[in-house]
Amino acid sequence: MTIVVDSNLVVALALPLPYDALAVQAFSLWSRQGEWLIAPLLFEYELTSLVRKGVALRQLREERALPVLHQLQQSGVETIAPTPELHRLALRLAERVGQSKAYDAQYLALASRENAPFWTADRRLARAAQSAGLAWVHWIGELTTDHYPL
């Protein structure tokens, strides 16, 4: 099965975040089950930004930034190049979930096109998407036996 993953989940594999144990559990499970993990190309830029943020917030020492970024880039998430259709879909989905920007909607668009679940640590995004009828959007806190046999 294909799963779209948010960059905030991947960065939790290396930085101390409130949901890091859930992220590790999810990636372990997805790996065991042979899931194909994908993200929009934007993911690569977000990883770099999140690692830098980790340094700025003192969650990560400066000298560890490059090795951690390399580790995260090897997490097994394949990035998918955008297409004009994906951008148009992202614009529509951003409107649908009430977002003023379309960054998160790039993930939603990819998941919609691939008919795949999208997992995120952004609870507000997940709630907005679910309220807009996008039942395939999941917050990492929902990872239970309802979704996967843990």
Q: Average pLDDT over the chain, rounded to whole? A: 94
DSSP character at residue 15: S
Q: Which is nearest to 148 in space by CA: 5, 35, 20?
A: 35
Task: Assign residue 98 a region (left: φ > 0; alpha: ψ between -120 and 50; beta: otherwise).
Answer: left
Question: 3-class DSSP state for residue 69?
Answer: helix
Both tokens assigned to 73:
């880039």
pLDDT value of position 150: 44
Instruction: Kindly tell me if the per-residue pLDDT of 149 is higher than 50.
Output: no
Q: What is the pLDDT of residues 29-44, one digit of tens each?
A: 999 999 999 999 999 9
Instruction: Give CATH superfamily name and number for 2-142.
Output: 5'-nuclease (3.40.50.1010)
| pTM attached to this predicted model | 0.93
Q: Where are the domains of the chain?
A: 2-142
